[in-house]
Amino acid sequence: MNQLEQLKQHTTIVADTGDFQSIQAFAPRDATTNPSLILKAVQKEEYRHLLEKAARDHGAKSTGDIVDNLLVAFGTEILKIIPGRVSTETDARLSFDTQGTIDKGRALIALYEAAGISRERILIKIASTWEGIRAAEVLEKEGIRCNMTLLFALPQAIACADAQVQLISPFVGRIYDWYKKSTGQEYTGADDPGVQSVKRIYNYYRKFSYKTEVMGASFRNTSQIIELAGCDLLTISPELLQKLADGDAQVVRKLSPEEAAGADLQKLTLDERTFRFLLNEDAMGTEKLAEGIRQFCADAVKLDKMVEALRQG
């Protein structure tokens, strides 16, 4: 078996892309998108029609509503290809607005259900701020499942699990980027700080019997992916999926509930003050969360401008 086939024996594979035509060959169960991936996709000729259709069919609505319909259009097309769930992200500009995030999550689910898709097949992606986690807690109680993104630190993961969210997406590659830049060192294999972060979160969840799923995300190379074999899910770009499909080296399970049971970890209880203090103490987590929100906001603005240009044209 190639490395992708071996990995599937231990972990659920998820495709991380808006380019849904590129994922069929890898047979992932789920798929994830984000504002940057959708922006990248609509600039390709083969997806331009989805943008034009959203602007044409919903031209009387606000720009934000048209973008929501565009996101759902991508999600709907992806769900024709995969058997599982698609993750659709809320507007990053709502990252510190609990009620705004709740409203956006409900609106996206309503659009999917109007398209005949059950909410069980949708994960609403929300930034792992304190406000975002509180919004997810409300949505989960309404049967709207959430995927907490831009997650870089254990306090974020603990708060998400305490809120009983469906799934978290700790970012391996961006953690690696931060440490590589700050130390000037190269990290590989089990020494990779991003790999270590996800392993710690996975072990914490399994040791203390949390039901929230852990989905490693934001990979820079296949080594990071192989080191997390056994994680509940891994969301991987088509480029890295192809490299795994082309590889034949052995893949060994690295994460397991049995190993997690023996992990040297203490259970933490977090209120808002403790969450904010511990996240602030983590320079990497604080910086990458802020940077990630800024990047997604910038791409959301670009997507808005593309929609507005179509409406005016």
125 in catalytic set: yes
> What are the start-end ranges of the H helices in the chain?
3-7, 35-42, 48-57, 63-79, 98-114, 130-141, 154-162, 172-183, 193-207, 222-226, 238-246, 257-261, 272-281, 283-312
With CA atoms as reference, report the closest residue to 1 among 251, 253, 248.
Answer: 248
Phi, psi of 172 (to 5 degrees): -70, -55
Token pair of 222, please? 């296949």
Q: Please report, for residues 59, 190, 221, the alpha-carbon distance to residue 312 in angstroms, rounded to integers and kept in the order given.
A: 10, 52, 42
Catalytic residue among 8, 104, 125, 207: 125
Distance CA 229, CA 15 (A): 16
Which residues carry out catalysis? 125
